[in-house]
A and B are shown apart, each in its own frame.
Chain A
Amino acid sequence: MAGKTLYDKLWDDHLVAQNDDGSALIYIDRQLLHEVTSPQAFEGLKLAGRKPRRIDANLATPDHNVPTTDRTKGIEDPISRIQVQTLDDNCDEYGVTEFKMDDIRQGIVHVIGPEQGYTLPGITMVCGDSHTATHGAFGAMAFGVGTSEVEHVLATQCLRQKKMKNMLIKVDGKLGVGVTAKDIVLAVIGEIGTAGGNGHAMEFAGSAIEDLSMEGRMTICNMAIEAGARIGLVAVDDKTVEYVKGRPFAPKGEHWDMAVKAWRELKSDSDAQFDKVVELKAEDIIPQVTWGTSPEMVKPVTGTIPNPANESNAVKKEGIERALKYMDLKADMPITQIPVDKVFIGSCTNSRIEDLREAAAVAKGRKVAASVKLAMVVPGSGLVKQQAEAEGLDKIFIEAGFQWREPGCSMCLAMNADRLEPGEHCASTSNRNFEGRQGQGGRTHLVSPGMAAAAAVYGHFTDVRELELQPITGGAH
């Protein structure tokens, strides 16, 4: 019999019951809650007269709606304020641990989970948010769910699921200088398309993935959903264990030793069978820039915008034409000629300390171009912000002309006051370039933190590999 994949192991390990109708009942170890997708779940629970099954299996924080400017005045928008207040009230009522808006530990759910050691190898984790795939970087089975399932987990600690297929993305070789995890995952999406991973759990492996830091692995798993996969995974190794060690929610004492022993098994067997395998060479990957309105509309910074005339598939051709119109770009134009009006460095994809260091290395000793209306850096959590300030990154950014903000989702989806005006082009380190994502009529280009900082400095996309970088000395966490 063939060996098991990492996903197979995690699935088997959490199987409560296999039902006759083909569905399975899966145990969920932990859940993350935020203000947007939880109010209706708590309400549903109340209406049905049910109680949460395990309060200790939930951790909450507001992130989508919170202002990134001075918070002492609270939230200005009354509707946003009510939503955050509702989360606070629900958590208080049931006794769920919550990092409220004024807590230094507050931040984007997918940043604080790992940061707190709440995300652990071998667990199942859900959140009412599609980027929950992020936590798979720790060898955990983590996936986004809708509000009905948030309620389902609150009430039962389980979900009814179908097992997915296994997909392997293998990236071997060494990344060039200035090429990052973000470029790997954008290149993967460019290769397989936004539906390429539908119905699959997507494991990332190969020497280039092993070489990545935990932050880099989180960036990659975060965007598995942009390739259609609900679950992204990376096997556990020394880096994983080292990262988790000593964090507030991580196991301690004899539990730690016991846990590490179990975690060491969390990798695919060498003879495991995958339903789909895609291989990429790290050396071939060039810094990526999305030009269109879907993450699969991506090109290397050295490339040009596609010409719909060269596309034979009618649906795709129309998609390209529509995207060019929305983005106000011309076919065959070099990527480096796309002008940039705003720059956003942040989001659950790229707002961790390593991402900020990468951007700071470009910003140091340089200035944001006069043509750029706003360049902002939004750390992923209060603790990331604190760490960055201890390293002097805030000063580098501010001196260069960037704004240094409070943590949250911010302009990744523009639910708070941070947004694009119609027609503006934005170099963004987030994960979605859909129409209107960063503000109605806004035009998003997804890039790595270094590429975003370079675009801020030049006012148009620029190959970060051509810049001389200032070393940023970051300590270990």
Chain B
Amino acid sequence: MEAFTQHTGLAVPLDRANVDTDAIIPKQFLKSIKRSGFGPNLFDEWRYLDHGEPGMDNSKRPVNPDFVLNFPRYKGASVLLARENFGCGSSREHAPWALEDYGIKAVIAPSFADIFFNNCFKNGILPIILDHDTVDLLFKETEANEGYKLDINLEQQTITRPNGEVINFDVEPDRKHSLLNGLDDIGITLQQEAAITAYEEERKKRAPWLFNN
């Protein structure tokens, strides 16, 4: 996994609540057995005017000029501003894969759905929870100022606005550590091999019916 330490990027405001993972990446693209290449189909049903299917040449498809990601001023955006309960619905990790492939490095929202939130950290994307009013402020400023960039520093846990004002955010220490160092979660867990084996031995005694079916 790619590490996340510091990132300065253009913000794009996606002004709707309860954006679900079906919207982030529609199911027809889940048939792929790969981890990459989902970016062109991020928000497919909102982004294009026609119906998308895997294998299409997305560069030839009619884009929806009213969808915010298609506004020329947000081209190259890498910080997604979102509303309540972002990423609800299906557990598909294809959602963060699509965001990452598109170039999104951080998502800022008042709340996230639990599974999506967790999946982001596994893919080098930083989901940041800020209170409703602060998110609202960022929405307003982004919409009002073309080229509005946010500077996110994970080590310091800060977001610096273009006017130099700093917003602090919380992040759980273990997640921060993994993301800062781009660590492989499985590798970390395997370091606790002895504890796992000990637990397993004891579990075998307590619940022998769960072994060797």
- Give chain A's interface residues, CB within 8 Å of chain B: 16-17, 19, 21-23, 25, 27, 29-30, 36-37, 39-40, 43, 48, 50, 56-57, 64-65, 77, 79-80, 82-83, 86, 120, 122-123, 128-130, 144-149, 151-152, 155-158, 160, 162, 194-195, 198-199, 228, 230, 249-252, 255-256, 258-259, 262, 294, 315-316, 318-319, 322, 413-415, 432, 434-437, 440
Contact = CB atoms under 8 A, between A and B. Distances in A.
B207 A146 contact: no
Contacts of A130: 89-91, 115
B11 to A, nearest CB: 19
Contacts of A148: 93, 119, 122-123, 185
Would you list the 3 A-B pairs with minimal beta carbon distance, nearest first?
A251-B209, A146-B93, A39-B33
A22 to B, nearest CB: 6
A436 B33 CA distance: 22
A39 B36 CA distance: 13
Contacts of A17: 192, 195
Interface stretch (B18-26, B62-70, B142-150, B154-162): B18-26
B111 interface: yes
Contacts of B84: 195, 315
B196 A415 contact: no
A228 B114 CA distance: 8
23 contacts: A16-B192, A16-B199, A27-B200, A29-B203, A83-B32, A122-B207, A144-B91, A146-B118, A147-B93, A149-B122, A152-B186, A155-B189, A162-B172, A194-B88, A198-B85, A249-B213, A251-B209, A319-B18, A413-B22, A432-B90, A434-B89, A436-B45, A440-B45
Contact of B186 (A36, A37, A48, A147): A48
Given A160-B185, A262-B206, A415-B31, A319 B114 contact: no
Interface residues of B, number: 61
A156 B84 CA distance: 34
Contact of A315 (B17, B119, B177): B17
B85 A228 contact: yes
B210 A29 contact: yes
Nearest to A17: B195
B118 A195 contact: no
Interface in B96-125: 96, 111, 113-115, 118-119, 122-123
A249 B208 CA distance: 13
B55 interface: yes
B76 interface: no
- With most chain B CB atoms within 10 A of its CB, the pick from A40, A195, A413 is A195
B48 to A, nearest CB: 10
A37 B91 contact: yes
Contacts of A251: 209
A414 B91 contact: no
B212 interface: yes
B16 interface: yes
A432 B89 contact: yes
B196 A158 contact: yes
A79 B173 CA distance: 41
Contacts of A440: 26, 45, 51
Contacts of B111: 195, 198
B190 interface: yes
A17 B208 CA distance: 21
A211 to B, nearest CB: 29
A128 B91 CA distance: 7
Given A37-B91, A40-B33, A146 B115 contact: yes
Nearest to A41: B93
Contact of A82 (B33, B93, B115, B210): B33
B7 interface: no
Contacts of A152: 185-186, 189
A262 B17 contact: no
Contacts of A414: 27
B172 A146 contact: no
Contacts of B60: none
